[in-house]
């Protein structure tokens, strides 16, 4: 149901969903009332019909009429205000004595032995060949003129009066039933209106909020709309997470870009003060280095934000990937970077497939950050080995270098944002391994920072076994 402005109305929908059943209930009640009234009317008319048959039989037995009925008595017996009554007096020996020959008495097998009238339904055809349904009563009495004979007295009437009485009772009851239904509907209308007012405190509480995304809670929330409010609380939680992620990104960007931007300003002012060729060239060299640093910082901040975003799992669902095939493909695009950096980049992996549930783009970003971290801090002429293996917990990707390594006291902090090992002179943002940590968490994987076998750093990312069902050949 819609309001005048076209919006759906919960109140109207509730009332309309109740009005139709109430109307159907009125129809059912009317049918039940008519059926009960017809049963009652049949009972009363059957009793009167049996009394009439007994009265006629007693009159014939006491006055010795020999089965003969006067015209006046015949008129009274057959008269009915609306319709027609029938009677039949017949002798066991002489057949029909008076009345309608079309009216058949009850069979002998159905007659009562105690002299009570026998009631039954029958029918006959009128002179216009119309079938007429009747209700009849039969009484059998001895013939006073001939003790060996027996008279059968039958009275019958049409069903018109019975149905007429039932309709009258129905018409008398319908107004009362309609008033009852209307009263119930008004009570329901009032109940719905009062019940919906229970939402007013919640509406007022939400309306008073401006930027508050705290959970609604269950204190004054009706049970029926708890699923709705809990869904809204879930939405609020996601929004709080997104806003927190946005605030963190802004704070991180301001923190990380502050130094290169300040350096850019210093070198621009320096070139303006001393426009000599040597000073300008040196300033431009520093500006280039600072812009490259700012560009890398902003790229890694965006990558970290994407890795932390809760919407990533919806836009890029995990699928079945073979690490033994994927990692060499991703590694091949970094060969030229490794050659330019003077790093020996190698790969070790199994011959057969090794399946995980993962996202190809995220895994590529994770591997790039691990390789960049090794090449930057291990230095030129270093060896970086990327491996794929199976450990007891599941499939594993490892990146190991033979650089100076990391003191054991700092290994556990390598996945923290902006953390850099003290004493490291190489430029960096401290975000590469944090990005690896976030991507691993999305894949339900575990990141381990270890000392390598040759003294450098070894990073292992252990994935859970693939849950995607697929037949592997």
Query: What domains, with CATH codes, occur in the chain?
Result: 13-167 (3.30.450), 223-308 (1.10.287.130), 318-462 (3.30.565.10)
Q: What is the pLDDT of residue 387?
A: 93
Q: Within 10 A of 136 (CB to CB), how many other CB atoms are there?
A: 25
Asked if 401 contacts 378 with a C-beta cutoff of 8 angstroms, the reply is yes
What is the rounded distance in angstroms from the CA atom of residue 226 to the CA atom of residue 229?
5
Is a pLDDT exceeding 70 seen at residue 253? no
Q: Encoding tokens for residue 113?
A: 């032995």
Contacts of 327 (CB under 8 A, 6+ apart): 347, 349, 367, 386, 388, 397
What is the rounded distance in angstroms from the CA atom of residue 38 to the CA atom of residue 351?
90
Q: What is the pLDDT of residue 463?
A: 94
- Helix (H) / strand (E) element for 46: namely helix 10-63
What is the rounded distance in angstroms from the CA atom of residue 89 to the CA atom of residue 95?
9
- Helix (H) / strand (E) element for 98: namely strand 95-99
Q: Encoding tokens for residue 303?
A: 């990558």
The more confident residue out of 315 and 86 is 86
Q: Encoding tokens for residue 149?
A: 């004979």
CA neighbours closer than 13 Å in the CB half-sphere of residue 83: 16
Range 338-342 contact pairs with CB under 8 angstroms and sequence separation of 24 or more: 338/371, 338/375, 338/384, 341/375, 341/380, 342/380, 342/381
Asked if 118 contacts 110 with a C-beta cutoff of 8 angstroms, the reply is yes
Positive/negative CA dihedral, 193, 195, 201, 205? negative
Which neighbouring-strand residues pair with 82? none
What is the rounded distance in angstroms from the CA atom of residue 386 to the CA atom of residue 31?
84
Range 58-67 contact pairs with CB under 8 angstroms and sequence separation of 24 or more: 60/89, 60/141, 60/151, 60/153, 61/141, 61/142, 61/144, 61/151, 64/144, 64/145, 66/97, 66/143, 66/144, 66/145, 67/91, 67/94, 67/97, 67/98, 67/143, 67/151
Is a pLDDT exceeding 50 seen at residue 406? yes
Q: Encoding tokens for residue 302?
A: 């965006």
Q: What are 179-206's pLDDT values in tens digits?
A: 888 888 788 777 777 777 777 777 777 7
The mean-pLDDT minimum among 20-29, 282-291, 322-331 falls in 282-291
Q: What is the pLDDT of residue 472?
A: 39
What is the rounded distance in angstroms from the CA atom of residue 404 to the CA atom of residue 371?
15
Secondary structure of 65-89 in HEC code, one letter for each residue:
CCCCCCHHHHHHHHCCCCCCEEEEE
Q: What is the pLDDT of residue 452?
A: 84
pLDDT band per the 50, 70, 90 thresholds, residue 111? low
Q: Encoding tokens for residue 20?
A: 């139709």
What is the rounded distance in angstroms from the CA atom of residue 157 to the CA atom of residue 94?
25
pLDDT band per the 50, 70, 90 thresholds, residue 473? very low
Q: What is the pLDDT of residue 109?
A: 57
Q: What are 356-366's pLDDT values in tens digits?
A: 998 888 888 88
% of the chain exceeding 90 in pLDDT: 9
Mean pLDDT throughout 8-26?
Answer: 77
Mean pLDDT throughout 263-268?
Answer: 78
Mean pLDDT throughout 109-120?
Answer: 69
The more confident residue out of 119 and 239 is 119
Q: Encoding tokens for residue 177?
A: 């039933």
Asked if 69 contacts 57 with a C-beta cutoff of 8 angstroms, the reply is no
DSSP alpha helix (H) spans, 309-411: 312-315, 323-332, 335-340, 360-378
Mean pLDDT throughout 329-343?
Answer: 88
Is a pLDDT exceeding 50 seen at residue 377? yes
């Amino acid at each position: 149901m819609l309001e005048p402005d076209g919006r759906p109305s919960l109140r109207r929908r509730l009332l309309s969903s109740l009005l139709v059943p109430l109307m159907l209930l009125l129809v059912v009640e009317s049918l039940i009332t008519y059926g009960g009234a017809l049963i009652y009317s049949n009972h009363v008319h059957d009793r009167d019909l049996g009394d009439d048959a007994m009265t006629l039989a007693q009159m014939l037995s006491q006055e010795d009429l020999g089965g003969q009925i006067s015209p006046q008595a015949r008129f009274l017996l057959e008269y009915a205000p609306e319709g027609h009554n029938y009677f039949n007096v017949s002798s066991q020996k002489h057949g029909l004595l008076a009345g309608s020959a079309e009216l058949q008495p009850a069979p002998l097998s159905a007659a009562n032995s105690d002299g009570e009238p026998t009631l039954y339904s029958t029918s006959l055809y009128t002179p216009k060949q119309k079938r007429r349904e009747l209700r009849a009563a039969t009484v059998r009495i001895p013939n006073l003129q001939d003790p060996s004979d027996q008279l059968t007295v039958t009275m019958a009437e049409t069903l018109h009066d019975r149905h007429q009485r039932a309709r009258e009772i129905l018409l008398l009851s319908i107004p009362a039933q309609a008033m009852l239904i209307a009263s119930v509907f008004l009570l329901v209308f009032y109940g719905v209106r009062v019940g919906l007012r229970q939402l007013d405190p919640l509406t007022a509480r939400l309306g008073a909020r401006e930027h508050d995304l705290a959970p609604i809670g269950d204190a004054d929330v009706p049970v029926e709309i708890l699923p709705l409010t809990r869904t809204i609380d879930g939405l609020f939680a996601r929004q709080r997470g997104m806003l927190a992620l946005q605030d963190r990104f802004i704070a991180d960007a301001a923190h990380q870009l502050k130094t290169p931007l300040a350096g850019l300003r210093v070198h621009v002012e320096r070139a303006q003060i001393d426009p000599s060729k040597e000073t300008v060239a040196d300033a431009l060299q520093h500006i280039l280095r600072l812009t490259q640093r700012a560009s890398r910082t902003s790229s890694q901040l965006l990558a970290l934000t994407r890795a932390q975003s809760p919407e990533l799992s919806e836009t890029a669902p995990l699928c079945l990937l073979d690490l033994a095939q994927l990692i060499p493909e991703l590694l091949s695009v970094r060969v030229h970077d490794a050659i330019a950096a003077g790093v020996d980049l190698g790969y070790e992996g199994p011959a057969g497939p090794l399946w995980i549930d993962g996202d190809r783009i995220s895994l590529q970003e994770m591997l790039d950050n691990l390789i960049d971290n090794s090449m930057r801090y291990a230095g030129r002429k270093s060896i970086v080995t990327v491996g794929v293996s199976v450990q007891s917990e599941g499939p594993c990707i490892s990146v190991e270098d033979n650089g100076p390594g990391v003191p054991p006291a700092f290994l556990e902090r390598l996945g923290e944002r902006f953390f850099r090992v003290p004493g490291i002179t190489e430029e960096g943002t401290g975000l590469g391994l944090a990005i690896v940590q976030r991507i691993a968490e999305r894949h339900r994987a575990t990141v381990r920072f270890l000392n390598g076998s040759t003294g450098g750093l070894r990073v292992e990312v252990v994935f859970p076994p693939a849950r995607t069902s697929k037949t592997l050949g």
